[in-house]
Amino acid sequence: METLADAEQRELIAPESRAMLEGVIRMADMTAGDVMVAAPRMDLLDIASPYDELLALVIDTGHSRFPVHDGARDNIIGILMAKDLLKLQRAPELNLRTLLRPAVFVPESKNLNELLRDFRSNRNHLAMVIDEFGNTAGLLTIEDVLEEIVGEIEDEFDEADAENGIYTLADGAQRVAGDTTIATVNTAFGVALPSDEFDTIGGLVAHELGRVPRRAETVMVGDLAFQVMLTRGGAVRWFRVTRAASEPGA
């Protein structure tokens, strides 16, 4: 690390190159358990759920792949591609089980270098992580591994060209980036959230809760409900935002 820092100071390598090389070095000592999404925060599909419920979860979370369980959450029976779910709309007689792809299981102790090689060789993008007792500990994707080297990867879910970082979801709710300014949220929703202490909506929500909220957790701020859709690096990347009156039971 010191050699890389010295090389950057002497302008032998660019800052971006130094960051990537440091990521490679750090990754050599990391395991699947270090970067996985823990089991309680996984977005899963229940094989017994009606099609409408499955579709709603796929739309709300925005993932492209989902572990599917039968009964207990620990009983993962396969992986469903979001695009495969659309086949049921055109052919309801299809059995959802026939659309599942085999799930790949790796131990928490598996080295990230080895896991990346496995991802590349078997063309899988998602692996289930199990603990020493064979229970599901979490999951991780090839993107999670690569981000340890290259930093955060922007994809279509992280697309930054929407106006003000606010998107309208299929169910009418809004997807709001955690780094969106409070002033922008106030304008978009016609509210008056305080902006004297914090600049971003993510900072305000974390302050109201007293900590950074976890995935799927909902925090009420004023008349708005902020449900965490995605977290990265200890911060919220995306919220699903609805007005309190539109929340169930409100």
* 3 occurs within a structural domain: no
User: Is 218 part of any domain?
Assistant: yes
Kindly report, residue by residue over 159-212, the tens digit of the pLDDT.
Answer: 444 556 788 776 778 889 898 999 999 999 999 999 888 889 999 999 999 888
Among 121, 150, 179, where does a domain finish?
Answer: 150
Q: How many domains does the chain have?
A: 2
Which residue among 89, 120, 150 closes a domain? 150
Do 36 and 135 fall within a single domain?
A: yes
Are 178 and 160 in contact, with CB atoms under 8 Å apart? no
Whole-structure pTM value: 0.58
**What is the C-alpha separation between 197 and 199, in angstroms, rounded?**
7
Residue 139's domain comprises 32-150
CB 115 within 8 A of CB 32: yes
What's the pLDDT at 161?
Answer: 42
Residues lower than pLDDT 70 in the chain? 151-164, 170, 232-234, 245-250
Whether residue 168 lies inside any domain: the answer is: yes
9 falls within a domain: no
Q: According to the model, what pLDDT value does residue 165 have? A: 73
User: So what's the pLDDT on residue 125?
Assistant: 86
Q: Say yes or no: 172 and 145 in one domain.
A: no
Q: Report if residue 189 sits inside a domain.
A: yes
**For position 246, what pLDDT does the model report?**
47
